[in-house]
Structure 1
Amino acid sequence: MNHLVVALIVFIVVFGSALACSYLRAVLPQHHLGDESISMVKLTTGLLATLAALVLGLLISSAKGSFDTTNGEIVHSAVNIVRLDRVLARYGPETRDIRAQLKRNTAASIASLAAGDPAQVTRMAGPEAVAKAEDFQRQVEDLAPHNTAQSQLQAKALQIIDEVYTARWLALLQEKASMPVPMLVVLVLWLAIIFGTFGLFAPRNGTTVTVLIMGALSAAGAIFMILEMNSPLDGIVKVSLGPMRAALAIIGQ
């Protein structure tokens, strides 16, 4: 489901809970709103608020770690692609077609990632993309070195290719990580209860409604950021492709 849609649902549920409890306040018997009742509700709300804050903090930390890992792999891949191109250039003119293929493959990967389409990112791990990667590696393996220097350069090129593909698969598999749905449901339930108590005991006026809206937007925004950072290759919040574009400009020179 689109992350903006999820965030909107969270906002509606959380703010709707506060609004519904605000109207419930008018029909509850007065003894339900006494000091003892308010104290007990405050204690329970404090417990839920602590739990929600801990879970949100852990989820944000985990999502940020996932985002940083993928960003690091993108930079690492860009560096290795440039290294691979220079090693192939040193091998000799026999690698001209391979270097051209490397440039085309890099450009295609950048175009797929820049599109921001999850389907294109998924296709990067599909059979066609795997076959293309294996074909490129096979071209390097089929080189026939004429001396020791070329043999060493071929071995080094194959090692770099392995590193590039390792980083590629790590980034693509990291993209599959997502926030567990049961955890999201429980977290939203806690937030709805917390905001419901806010609406229950706060007087209904323009100031309190505005504050509740801002709080619900903040909660929905936090969950939106968690979901976005858990999918760093597509969406609104995604890793920078600047290093890959810089590498593309260097390849073939």
Structure 2
Amino acid sequence: MSTVAISVCAALLMLGGACAGILLRRHLPKHHLNDHAKDVVRLGSGLVATITALVLGLLITSAKNTYDLQRQEVRQIAEKLVLMDNQLKRYGPEARQARELQRQAIPALIGRIWGQRAVQSPTGAPYQPGLEGDLVFAAIEALAPQNDVQRNLKFRALATTSAITEARVLLFEEADAGLPPALLAVVIFWLTMLFAGFTLFSPINATSATVLAIIALSASGAIFLILELNNPFGGLLQIPSTPIRDALGVLGP
């Protein structure tokens, strides 16, 4: 289910809780709606509202930090691609094939990150390095250095290639974490109960109904932000692939 659909469902559930509160107020006996019951509901709603606000705040902060970290990792991958090309260029014309294979591997890398995030191998493994990256590594390994400078450049190019692979695996694992469904369900349940408490003792008119709808949309907007930030390579707030595409343009012949 998309993040928009989940957010809309959350808003509808909150408004459904408000409707449940209205129905309860109409059907409960008078002595169940006295001042003592009102105080209990008010205090309980305050406690639940505080807990919900804290959890939503922590979830937004955590999701934003993870999003920023993944965006930085994308930039670091782009930097390493340019660095490796520079190392191979300094190695000499013998590394031309490895550089060409690297340029050919970048579009596939972009497709794996922003396309099929959960690329699976025939054995069901959650992540499998692309053939293009293996070809680049093999081409660098096949280089036969003639002096200490070339040996050093080959070693550094292999280390950079391994660093790119490690960053890609880390990026995949972080992007696949997401928000636990049970936690999301509990937060929505708390919000629904709050809306039921809002209408249990207060008559509803057009103004209060409009305000409740705005509050529901605002709360579902917070849920939308959390879900979007936890889905950094898809949706409306996805991390752009511009740094890696720019790196592809920088790589020389």
| 1:160 paired to 2:164 | no
Identity of paired residues, percent? 37
CA–CA separation in structure 1 for the residues paired with 2:43 and 2:180: 28
**Structure 1 residue aligned with 2:225:** 225
Which AA in structure 1 matches 2:146?
A: H
Which AA in structure 1 matches 2:247?
A: A
Aligned pair partner of 2:117 in 103, 121, 125: 121
CA–CA separation in structure 1 for the residues paired with 2:93 and 2:221: 54
Question: Does the 8 Å contact 1:77/1:167 carry over to 2?
Answer: yes
CA–CA separation in structure 1 for the residues paired with 2:155 and 2:171: 25
Which AA in structure 2 matches 1:121?
A: R
| 1:42 paired to 2:57 | no
CA–CA separation in structure 1 for the residues paired with 2:68 and 2:16: 35
Question: Does the 8 Å contact 1:4/1:224 carry over to 2?
Answer: yes
CA–CA separation in structure 1 for the residues paired with 2:142 and 2:225: 46
**Structure 1 residue aligned with 2:200:** 200
Moved more, 30-39 or 163-172: 30-39
Which AA in structure 2 matches 1:146?
A: Q
- Deviation, structure 1 residue 126: 4.3
**Structure 1 residue aligned with 2:30:** 30
**Structure 1 residue aligned with 2:132:** 132
Which AA in structure 2 matches 1:221?
A: G
Question: Does the 8 Å contact 2:108/2:132 carry over to 1?
Answer: no
CA–CA separation in structure 1 for the residues paired with 2:113 and 2:154: 29
In structure 2, the CA distance between the partners of 1:15 and 1:238, relative to structure 1 (3 Å rule), is same
Question: Does the 8 Å contact 2:113/2:172 carry over to 1?
Answer: no
CA–CA separation in structure 1 for the residues paired with 2:218 and 2:235: 19
**Structure 2 residue aligned with 1:213:** 213
Give unpaired runs (5+ residues) of structure 1: none
Alignment size in residue pairs: 248
Which AA in structure 2 matches 1:70?
A: Q
CA–CA separation in structure 2 for the residues paired with 1:22 and 1:42: 16
Question: Does the 8 Å contact 1:232/1:239 carry over to 2?
Answer: yes
Name the Cα RMSD after superposition: 1.7
CA–CA separation in structure 2 for the residues paired with 1:133 and 1:247: 16
Question: Does the 8 Å contact 2:91/2:153 carry over to 1?
Answer: yes
- Deviation, structure 1 residue 111: 4.2
With structure 2 as the length reference, what TM-score do the two structures score?
0.91
- Deviation, structure 1 residue 34: 2.2
CA–CA separation in structure 2 for the residues paired with 1:111 and 1:161: 18
- 1:25 partner SS: helix
Matches within 5 A, 1:1-253: 1-114=1-114, 117=115, 120-123=116-119, 126-127=127-128, 129-253=129-253
- Deviation, structure 1 residue 95: 1.6
Question: Does the 8 Å contact 2:24/2:200 carry over to 1?
Answer: yes
- 2:26 partner SS: coil
Which AA in structure 1 matches 2:242?
A: G
- CA-to-aligned-CA distance 1:138-169 (integer Å, 9 cap, x gap): 11111111111111110110111111111111
- CA-to-aligned-CA distance 1:29-58 (integer Å, 9 cap, x gap): 333332221111000001111111111111
With structure 1 as the length reference, what TM-score do the two structures score?
0.91
Which AA in structure 1 matches 2:143?
A: L
